[in-house]
């Protein structure tokens, strides 16, 4: 099979491959970008594999960085873009079911493709757009199947994260799992315990925000992979409630928020739950705000002041979460009300603490209280947002 009219990302990288070929080495596009071009998906970056050793790659290009030279990867800067070029390799010496301990460079593409996780990820494309398909990856793309290259048990023992990758590709690509591949996950799910939470989380999130997250979640639970991820109490509840979602979340904050809402995790436990998954403080904050505002929305129509405190980002994210959960909310009315607020954040208030002090208010706790009172009055429309009006109010 040959692909004509390669997308711009590939054309931009073509001179890099040609440079390798001119140096009498082999060079191919490999991995996810080849899979994605065949599926018509958006391609964010391309990976390049070559017969050249890392030192040889570096000699061919003016600018390069040793990104993972131990694993055979050199990043080359070309025309303002960076390209990862990896020497053909096998991955002998896997330790602890994690990343390869050491790699062995090999001279042919076949060996390199053989070490890859799934048949749809073991495709290569040369500079003429011709596809190299040693493991019926094209057939599997056609049948929308995720199948391990060779023996799935071996592949998962080499790198247990691949079991999570399998379910996340299910979700992202709307594919099914091959029978043997699914069985091997069910038989080996405990290997996932060896994998760092961060790497599991990244795959978990990709699974959760993929278009087929419901089916992927089901397999994630059925194969018991879910038992080997952190703090996943209430997983059976999640299984019964997840199908009630109107559609898959596309935002990471929405994903965490709906899981927390569906599992009924209490306010004071959200921080721990998020930390157990090694989420950042910023992500945790965002999610806490969304869940709190969702609770408020379920309870009553928010006041103007509550809308102000919530802010635009949380408001929009909470509306997203409510829609995904099928919770009725008059989003247009809420957004209109927010947009009509006299001020939308504290910086827009015409006065600050200094203004109050200059107008005779003594520094101290009362000043903060007064400032808040002014803010509330401005938001409710009782007080005009000008220095004059506020100055008068203070004097009164």
Using DSSP's 3-state secondary structure scheme, residue 133 falls into strand
Q: What share of the chain is helix, strand, coil (3-state, %, to 5)?
A: 55, 10, 30
> How far, in Å, CA of 252 to CA of 232, rounded?
17
> Which of 248, 318 has the CB closer to ligand CTP?
248
The answer to whether residue 207 forms part of the interface with ligand CTP (CB under 6 A) is no
- CB burial class (10 A; 0-12, 13-18, 19+) of residue 91? middle
CA-to-CA dists, residue 146 to 45, 117, 119, 351, angstroms: 21, 10, 7, 61
Q: Which among ligand CTP, Mg ion, none contacts residue 159 (Cβ within 5 to 8 A by kind)? A: ligand CTP
The answer to whether residue 117 forms part of the interface with ligand CTP (CB under 6 A) is yes
Place of tokens 């009630």: 244
The answer to whether residue 311 forms part of the interface with Mg ion (CB under 5 A) is no
Is 275 labelled as part of a ligand binding site? no
Residue 207 token pair: 């699974």
Query: With CB under 6 A as the contact rule, which of the stretches 113-121, 177-185, 303-311, 317-325 interacts with ligand CTP?
Result: 113-121
> How far, in Å, CA of 101 to CA of 95, rounded?
6
Residue 248 token pair: 């898959």
Q: Smallest distance from the beta carbon of 295 to ligand CTP, in angstroms?
A: 34
> How far, in Å, CA of 112 to CA of 51, rounded?
10
Is 45 labelled as part of a ligand binding site? yes
Residues numbered 23 to 52 that lie near Mg ion (CB under 5 A) are: 32
All residues at 6 or more sequence positions from 373 whose CB lies less than 8 Å from its CB, including other chains: none
Q: Smallest distance from the beta carbon of 312 to ligand CTP, in angstroms?
A: 31
Q: What is the Cα Rg of the chain in Å?
A: 27
> Which of 42, 300 has the CB closer to ligand CTP?
42
> Which of 58, 168 has the CB closer to ligand CTP?
168
Is 35 labelled as part of a ligand binding site? yes
Total site size for ligand CTP, rule CB under 6 A:
11
Q: Smallest distance from the beta carbon of 242 to Mg ion, in angstroms?
A: 27
> Which of 159, 286 has the CB closer to ligand CTP?
159
Q: Smallest distance from the beta carbon of 65 to ligand CTP, in angstroms?
A: 18
Query: With CB under 6 A as the contact rule, which of the stretches 130-138, 157-165, 274-282, 313-321 interacts with ligand CTP?
Result: 157-165
The correct pick among 37, 132, 160, 161 for binding ligand CTP (CB under 6 A) is 161
| Residue facing ligand CTP at closest CB distance | 32
CA-based end-to-end distance of the chain: 83
> How far, in Å, CA of 94 to CA of 92, rounded?
6
* CA 216, 222, 223, 227 torsion-angle sign: positive
The answer to whether residue 47 forms part of the interface with ligand CTP (CB under 6 A) is yes
Q: Which among Mg ion, ligand CTP, none contacts residue 38 (Cβ within 5 to 8 A by kind)? A: none
The answer to whether residue 384 forms part of the interface with ligand CTP (CB under 6 A) is no
Using DSSP's 3-state secondary structure scheme, residue 290 falls into helix
Query: With CB under 6 A as the contact rule, which of the stretches 13-21, 158-166, 275-283, 317-325 interacts with ligand CTP?
Result: 158-166
Element (DSSP H or E) covering residue 392: helix 387-395
Is 228 labelled as part of a ligand binding site? no
Is 168 labelled as part of a ligand binding site? yes
> Which of 204, 293 has the CB closer to ligand CTP?
204
All residues at 6 or more sequence positions from 8 whose CB lies less than 8 Å from its CB, including other chains: none
- CB burial class (10 A; 0-12, 13-18, 19+) of residue 142? exposed
The correct pick among 112, 133, 140, 159 for binding ligand CTP (CB under 6 A) is 159
* CA 379, 384, 385, 391 torsion-angle sign: negative
Q: Which residues contribute to the annotated binding site for ATP? A: 32, 35, 116, 159, 162, 165, 168
Interface residue list for ligand CTP (CB under 6 A): 31-32, 47, 116-117, 121-122, 159, 161-162, 165
Q: Which residues contribute to the annotated binding site? A: 32, 35, 45, 47, 116, 159, 162, 165, 168
Q: Which residues contribute to the annotated binding site for CTP? A: 32, 35, 116, 159, 162, 165, 168
């Amino acid at each position: 099979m040959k692909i004509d009219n390669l997308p711009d990302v590939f054309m931009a990288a073509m001179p890099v491959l040609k440079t390798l070929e001119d140096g009498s080495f082999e060079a191919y596009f490999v991995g996810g970008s080849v899979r994605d071009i065949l599926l018509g998906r958006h391609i964010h970056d391309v990976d390049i594999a070559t017969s050249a050793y890392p030192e040889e790659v570096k000699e061919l290009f003016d600018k390069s960085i040793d990104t993972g030279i131990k694993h055979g990867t050199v990043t080359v800067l070309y025309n303002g873009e960076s390209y990862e070029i990896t020497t053909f390799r096998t991955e002998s010496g896997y330790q602890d079911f994690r990343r390869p301990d050491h790699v062995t460079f090999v001279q042919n593409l076949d060996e390199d493709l053989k070490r890859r996780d799934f048949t749809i990820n073991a495709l290569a494309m040369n500079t003429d757009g011709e596809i190299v398909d040693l493991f019926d990856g094209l057939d599997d793309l056609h049948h929308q199947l995720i199948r391990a290259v060779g023996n799935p048990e071996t592949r998962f023992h080499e790198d247990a994260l691949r079991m999570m990758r399998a379910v996340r590709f299910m979700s992202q690509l709307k594919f099914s799992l091959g029978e043997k591949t699914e069985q091997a996950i069910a038989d080996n799910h405990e290997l996932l315990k060896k994998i760092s939470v961060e790497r599991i989380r990244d795959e978990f999130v990709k699974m959760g925000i993929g278009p087929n997250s419901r089916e992927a979640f089901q397999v994630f639970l059925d194969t018991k992979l879910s038992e080997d991820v952190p703090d996943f109490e209430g997983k059976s509840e999640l299984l019964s409630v997840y199908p009630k979602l109107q559609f898959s979340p596309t935002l990471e904050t929405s994903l965490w928020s709906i899981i927390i809402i569906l599992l009924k995790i209490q306010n004071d436990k959200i921080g721990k739950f998020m930390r157990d998954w090694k989420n950042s403080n910023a992500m945790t904050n965002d999610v806490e705000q969304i869940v709190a505002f969702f609770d408020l929305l379920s309870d009553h129509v928010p006041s103007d002041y509550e809308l102000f405190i919530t802010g635009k980002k949380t408001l929009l994210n909470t509306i997203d979460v409510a829609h995904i959960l099928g919770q009725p909310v008059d989003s247009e009315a809420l957004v209109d009300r927010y947009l009509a607020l006299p001020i939308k954040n504290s910086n827009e208030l015409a006065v600050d603490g200094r203004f109050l002090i200059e107008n005779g208010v003594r520094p101290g706790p009362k000043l903060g209280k007064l400032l808040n009172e002014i803010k509330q009055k401005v938001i409710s429309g009782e007080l005009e947002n000008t220095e004059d009006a506020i100055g008068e109010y203070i004097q009164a």
